[in-house]
Amino acid sequence: MAELSDRTYGQALPDQVEKIAALFDAHLEVISDVRELYSARAALEREYAAKLQLLAKKAGEKKSKMESLFILGNDPTISWDAKTLKQSTLNAAYDEIIGSTASTSQDHVTIADALTSQVAEVLGAVERNNEEAKKKEMQYFQKLLADRDRVYADRLKSKQKYDEDCVEVESFRLKQGRASDDKHADRVAKQAEQQRNDMLNSKNIYLISTAIANQAKDKFFNEDIPMLENEFQTLQSRLVARFAKILLYAQSLQQSHLDVLQSRITNVQSKLNQVDPLKDQSLFMDCNVKPFTAPGDWKFEPCSTHYDTNAMSIEPAPKVFIQNKLRRCREKMEELQPLIETKRNEFNRLSSQVQAYTADHSVGTIDKLTDDYLGAEHQLALYTSSERILTAEIETILAAVGGDEGAHKPHTFKSSVFSIPTQCGYCKSSIWGLTKQGKTCKLCGLSVHSKCELKIPADCQQSEAQRPSTLMSRTSTVSSRTSVLGTSTATPSPSSFVQSAPAEEPGKGESFPAARVLFDFSPTSEFELEVSEGAMVHIVEPDDGSGWVKVVDEDGDRGLVPASYLESVQEVSGGKAKTAQRGSGKRVRAIYPYETQGSDELGLQEGEILELSSGPRGGQNYGGGWWEGFNGKGQKGIFPSNYVETL
């Protein structure tokens, strides 16, 4: 065996959180059994000494059932026998307690009262506090799993989107070849080029998500899981130490009351003084070691229908996109760093207080201190996870663009509603609709689609005289926010820095003007759409002067029809649209309480029923480990997805 002080669960038992948690549960059950033993003993000693023997027998039976579980765990990897169990210092102390109980046949009401108030009730408090601590640890474990799986899923989604865009590129290439002499050839060529840019953007996003997934995987297996296992080890050590101290105190009560039991009590004290959590934990580790190999890194997988390499595209359009992403990542990192520093200082302060604690038999402030300490450590770990993700994204982009980070005059876009058609400053198509599908720069007035925001170079044409004041304003805002981090209750949640934006799907979530078809129209090319008189369509792109309008019919098919064949229809924004916006009909139940940390969040009460919202960015599609929905009061907000269960 290695030195006991050098061994930790995180090093010796990689990726065995559930087994360690089961061991912790077994220890809690042992405490429960011992507490029941003392409670029952106090009652029996008021009646007859004979019943005390029966109690000792029952305790021995319980111990025999739990013996291997709290010593070796529920599924040890090596063979064991009675000699193995005897190596446990806690088991030896437990044996001695049962033996002392069996030999005690007389007692008084005084010792019965003392055992009840100073032993059994304290054990119950310790058991409850540690059960709650274990519950929070497992909630944090589930949160780690959910965050890891979300990152993995984001990578798979970006891969699927990249593959789909590759297929679309090939499809447009074939159409472009067939439409060389067609009257819509120019339109097809523009669409083909746009699709190619979208494919390159999807590829870059896929590469970035792969790098992020690798970083998340490394942190999960090399930092988060070992940290969590070490936390369990610390809790278990403290639990066993307190357990032993409480029982030692119980023995001292008996010794002072009954001199005749002095010899037996001395034996029990000796065994309890020999309780060594590190030695017992080392025995558990020796009996549960199994081979473990961390998963390998992911690599770029080219689309089967499109030849490609693992190099990020730095062609002009994709380069602008990743340059804008780089700027956003750095802005988020600037906000995140002060939070990490504040949380790290808090963690170091609590850590020193916890390390200075010495186990005793009383109920003290250590339970709250431990809870605060673990909460700070968890928050720090989650913030550093966000930092790791942002760092991976920044490094991946910098490796591709080198020193070419683009212009340093970013636009200040704000969501806008366009009641009349407005040309997008990037794709040159119209922005039109009542929903916020477009944005406008507050400084230069440039308007773009929301999906085109990151594709615009950061070369805002505002006057140079205005820019310094804007930068100073932003710096002041960040500084002001940082200065109150220590006392503010509205500190951003760790996940808010790395929430994944849903994939752009044209047509979804947009509101297009409606029109009625006046005459039947039969297409003469594959870019036109067949419509019938009286049918309802929605105008996707208005007439650009060519006399043609792009529409989508009720079946979702899109194409061009003559503008003179349509008449505008004023849509009624009535109850149906409002109902569709409100809820999806899917309900969930809160399984844990949750307190809001931001104005866009919903608080949860255990057992509360909520309805998920609808839309491509609502409900389960919100992303980042969060869902969106409505509570019983009709309030809308987001909440952690792992705090609810579907009905």
Name beta bridge partners: 422.
431
pLDDT band at 463 (very low <50, low <70, confident <90, very high): very low
Helix residue ranges, H only, 362-417: 366-401
Tokens of 33: 């059994």
Of 289, 220, 295, 294, nearest in space to 13 by CA: 289
Q: Are 360 and 468 in contact (CB under 8 A)?
A: no
Greatest mean pLDDT range, 259-273, 338-352, 395-409: 338-352
Rounded to the nearest 5 degrees, what angle is found at the Cα of 108, between the Cα atoms of 104 and 110? 125
CATH code for the structural domain at 413-481: 3.30.60.20
Cα(451)–Cα(468) distance, integer angstroms: 28
Task: Determine which helix (DSSP H) or strand (DSSP E) holds 19, and give its type and residue range.
Answer: helix 17-45
Name beta bridge partners: 550.
541, 560
Q: What pLDDT is stored for residue 501 in this prediction?
A: 47
Cα(375)–Cα(388) distance, integer angstroms: 20
Cα(634)–Cα(597) distance, integer angstroms: 19
Which of 135-149, 450-464, 617-631 comes out lowest in average pLDDT?
Answer: 450-464
Cα(144)–Cα(138) distance, integer angstroms: 10
Would you say residue 514 has pLDDT above 90? no
> Residue 267: what are its φ and ψ, rounded to 5°?
-65, -40
pLDDT band at 471 (very low <50, low <70, confident <90, very high): very low
Which of 36-45, 252-261, 329-338, 511-520 comes out lowest in average pLDDT?
Answer: 252-261
Cα(330)–Cα(334) distance, integer angstroms: 6
Does this chain's domain 413-481 share its CATH topology with 579-646? no
3-state secondary structure of 551: strand
Q: What pLDDT is stored for residue 123 in this prediction?
A: 92
- The distance in angstroms from the start CA to the end CA of the chain is 50
pLDDT band at 137 (very low <50, low <70, confident <90, very high): very high
Q: What pLDDT is stored for residue 247 in this prediction?
A: 92
Q: Can you give the C-alpha Rg of the chain in angstroms? A: 33
pLDDT band at 583 (very low <50, low <70, confident <90, very high): low
pLDDT digit string, tens, across residues 76-117: 888 888 888 888 998 888 888 888 888 776 667 788 888 889
- How buried is residue 102: exposed, middle or buried, by Cβ count under 10 Å (0-12/13-18/19+)? middle
Sketch the domain layout of the chain as residue ranges: 4-139+237-286, 413-481, 514-571, 579-646
3-state secondary structure of 365: coil
3-state secondary structure of 617: coil
Q: What pLDDT is stored for residue 479 in this prediction?
A: 39
CB proximity list for 204: less than 8 A, separation 6 or greater:
312, 313, 318, 321, 322, 400
Mean of all residue pLDDT scores within the chain: 81
Cα(200)–Cα(168) distance, integer angstroms: 12
pLDDT digit string, tens, across residues 227-245: 999 999 999 999 999 999 9
pLDDT digit string, tens, across residues 590-600: 998 888 887 77
**The residue type at 577:** A
Instruction: Tell me the residue length of the chain.
Output: 647
Query: Residues of the chain with pLDDT > 70: what percent?
Result: 85
Of 375, 335, 590, nearest in space to 480 by CA: 335
List Cβ<8 Å contacts ≥24 apart for 498-506. Answer: 498/332, 498/385, 498/386, 498/389, 498/390, 498/624, 499/623, 499/624, 499/626, 500/150, 500/154, 500/623, 500/624, 501/623, 502/616, 502/617, 502/621, 502/623, 503/157, 503/158, 503/161, 504/451, 505/616, 506/451
Cα(647)–Cα(640) distance, integer angstroms: 16
pLDDT band at 469 (very low <50, low <70, confident <90, very high): very low
Would you say residue 473 has pLDDT above 60? no
Cα(396)–Cα(389) distance, integer angstroms: 11
Tokens of 155: 């990578």
Of 12, 71, 16, 136, nearest in space to 277 by CA: 71
Domain 514-571 in this protein, CATH class: mainly beta
CB 353: neighbour CB atoms within 10 A? 15
Name beta bridge partners: 611.
587, 630
CATH code for the structural domain at 579-646: 2.30.30.40
pLDDT band at 210 (very low <50, low <70, confident <90, very high): very high
pTM assigned to the model? 0.55
Q: What pLDDT is stored for residue 503 in this prediction?
A: 40
Q: What pLDDT is stored for residue 408 in this prediction?
A: 74
Q: What pLDDT is stored for residue 107 in this prediction?
A: 65
pLDDT digit string, tens, across residues 16-32: 999 999 999 999 999 99
pLDDT band at 482 (very low <50, low <70, confident <90, very high): very low
Would you say residue 145 has pLDDT above 90? yes
Indicate the DSSP class of residue 297.
Answer: P
Would you say residue 132 has pLDDT above 60? yes
Cα(598)–Cα(114) distance, integer angstroms: 49
Q: What pLDDT is stored for residue 180 in this prediction?
A: 64
Cα(323)–Cα(46) distance, integer angstroms: 80
Greatest mean pLDDT range, 86-95, 538-547, 625-634: 86-95
Would you say residue 620 has pLDDT above 50? yes
State how far the alpha carbon of 374 is from the alpha carbons of 168, 221, 490, in Å: 49, 19, 20
Would you say residue 158 has pLDDT above 90? yes
State how far the alpha carbon of 378 is from the alpha carbons of 141, 486, 558, in Å: 10, 17, 50
Mean pLDDT of 437-441: 79
Q: What pLDDT is stored for residue 226 in this prediction?
A: 94
Q: What pLDDT is stored for residue 254 in this prediction?
A: 80
